[in-house]
């Protein structure tokens, strides 16, 4: 989704009303299940899979000759699929002409957001945001409600990740498309090869307050759930908040891996309590479990407690 416009900070392509409303900045999903939009049976059953979010795909999983049929199928089922517990996203196509057709089909009540593949410039994101704003206005939808997730899949996109992350107030998340990135760089999609690009993407997302999404491995490795479990646990340690997947069997693995454990929650609560008491005595540091903790540790503890609260909210329906 390339465009040479530079974007305008966090408000590119947004109206004054949108800047007031804004997209939800605290959004977080542990599991985001890709669903091919050209399969009515998969679309109809998607909300029963237990994922925090569904990503109906109009891009890579859809053959070129079936794009229009996939749009029609998804548009027909959109109202029904948006009634379930999972948030509904759509991955649109990267080419502008296809992307506009996709948006015209899926910008409907209940749509949570849009995944933008092949993001390479801030202007490309701003351009999509403009189109979404026009469609929201034309269709009487709340302005700024539909979010965007930027997909970094090329070296150009990685080098521009930070300005991309701040290019629109609609952005809530960012991920690195490992297979596409490896193909674009002539490398293997091994975890060690892509570790640095994934970390750079996390840094860019965190700088802008976006949720970093992804695994420290390819999402294509879904057959061995032990491998997925280790990759998800590692991704959580590296700062990712959730990940996409292509098979329903992976959903519970991701939900567990990206939910803070009771042990971690108890530690975070001790940190917040200890530092609160220390601050009341005029100190900025405290000792928890034999280790010194200060403001950066408190930030990490509060973020963990926020994630735990969101996970509990999703689990309770």
Looking at the fold, whether 83 and 163 belong to one and the same domain comes out as: yes
Query: Beta strands of the chain (E only): which ranges?
Result: 31-36, 53-57, 87-91, 113-116, 147-152, 171-176, 211-213, 243-245, 286-288, 291-293
For 95-125, the pLDDT digits (tens) are 899 999 999 999 999 999 999 999 999 999 9
Indicate whether 1 belongs to any domain.
no
Cβ distance 70 to 78 under 8 Å? no
Looking at the fold, whether 151 and 251 belong to one and the same domain comes out as: yes
Indicate whether 235 belongs to any domain.
yes
The residue range of the domain holding 50 is 9-258
d(CA 84, CA 258): 21
Q: If we measure between CA atoms, which residue out of 12, 32, 38 comes closest to residue 112?
A: 32
Instruction: Please count the structural domains in the chain.
Output: 2
Does 116 or 311 have the greater pLDDT score?
116
For 248-280, the pLDDT digits (tens) are 999 999 999 998 888 888 989 999 999 999 999
Residue 161 has pLDDT above 80, yes or no: yes
122-138 helix and 96-106 helix, angle to the nearest 10 degrees: 30
Looking at the fold, whether 203 and 300 belong to one and the same domain comes out as: no
Indicate whether 3 belongs to any domain.
no
Looking at the fold, whether 152 and 267 belong to one and the same domain comes out as: no
Looking at the fold, whether 161 and 222 belong to one and the same domain comes out as: yes
- Other CB atoms within a 10 A radius of the CB of residue 92 amount to 25
Looking at the fold, whether 198 and 233 belong to one and the same domain comes out as: yes
Looking at the fold, whether 185 and 304 belong to one and the same domain comes out as: no
Report for 3-7, 252-256, 296-300: range of highest mean pLDDT: 252-256
- Show which of 258, 282, 303 is a domain's final residue: 258
Looking at the fold, whether 136 and 249 belong to one and the same domain comes out as: yes
Looking at the fold, whether 104 and 232 belong to one and the same domain comes out as: yes
The sign one gets for the Cα dihedral 244, 247, 248, 249 is: negative
The number of angstroms, rounded, from the C-alpha of 247 to the middle of its chain's C-alpha atoms is: 17
- Threshold 0.75, pTM exceeds: yes
Residue 220 has pLDDT above 90, yes or no: no
Indicate whether 4 belongs to any domain.
no
Looking at the fold, whether 304 and 206 belong to one and the same domain comes out as: no
Indicate whether 292 belongs to any domain.
yes
Residue 24 has pLDDT above 80, yes or no: no
Q: Which of the four pLDDT bands, split at 50, 70 and 90, describes residue 216?
A: confident
Indicate whether 220 belongs to any domain.
yes
- DSSP-derived secondary structure letter, 164: H
Low-confidence winner among 129-143, 215-229, 268-282 (lowest mean pLDDT): 215-229
> What's the half-sphere exposure (Cβ side, CA atoms, 13 Å) at 62?
29
Low-confidence winner among 12-16, 140-144, 221-225, 277-281 (lowest mean pLDDT): 12-16
Cβ distance 138 to 178 under 8 Å? no
Tokens representing 99 are 């992307």
Q: What CATH number did the domain enclosing 124 receive?
A: 3.20.20.60
Looking at the fold, whether 156 and 305 belong to one and the same domain comes out as: no
Query: Beta strands of 117-209 (E only): which ranges?
Result: 147-152, 171-176
Indicate whether 310 belongs to any domain.
yes
% of the chain residues with pLDDT over 90: 77
Q: What is the pLDDT of residue 303?
A: 81
Looking at the fold, whether 99 and 83 belong to one and the same domain comes out as: yes
Indicate whether 217 belongs to any domain.
yes
């Amino acid at each position: 989704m390339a465009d040479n416009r530079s974007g305008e900070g966090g408000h590119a392509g947004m109206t004054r009303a949108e800047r007031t409303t804004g997209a939800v900045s605290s959004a977080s999903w542990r599991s985001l299940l890709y669903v091919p939009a050209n399969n009515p049976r998969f679309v109809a059953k998607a909300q029963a899979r237990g994922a925090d979010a569904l990503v109906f795909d109009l891009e890579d999983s859809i053959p070129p000759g079936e794009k229009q049929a996939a749009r029609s199928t998804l548009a027909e089922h959109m109202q029904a699929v948006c009634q379930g517990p999972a948030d509904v996203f759509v991955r649109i196509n990267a080419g502008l002409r296809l992307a506009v057709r996709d948006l015209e089909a899926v910008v409907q009540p209940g749509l949570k957001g849009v995944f933008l593949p092949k993001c390479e410039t801030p202007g490309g994101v701003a351009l999509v945001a403009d189109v979404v704003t026009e469609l929201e206005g034309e269709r009487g939808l709340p302005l700024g409600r539909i979010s965007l997730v930027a997909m970094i899949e090329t070296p150009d996109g990685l080098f521009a990740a930070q300005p991309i992350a701040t290019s629109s107030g609609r952005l809530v998340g960012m991920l690195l498309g490992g297979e596409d990135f490896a193909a674009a760089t002539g490398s293997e999609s091994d975890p060690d090869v892509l570790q640095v690009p994934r970390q750079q993407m996390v840094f860019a997302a965190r700088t802008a307050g976006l949720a970093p999404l992804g695994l420290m491995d390819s999402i294509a490795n879904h057959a061995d759930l032990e491998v997925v479990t280790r990759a998800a646990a590692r991704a959580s340690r590296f700062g990712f908040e959730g990940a996409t997947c292509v098979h329903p069997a992976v959903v519970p693995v991701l939900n567990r891996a990206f939910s803070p454990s009771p042990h971690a929650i108890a530690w975070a609560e001790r940190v917040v309590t200890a530092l609160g008491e220390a601050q009341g005595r005029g100190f900025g540091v405290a000792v928890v479990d034999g280790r010194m903790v200060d403001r950066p540790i408190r930030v990490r503890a509060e973020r963990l407690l926020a994630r735990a609260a969101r996970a509990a909210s999703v689990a309770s329906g």
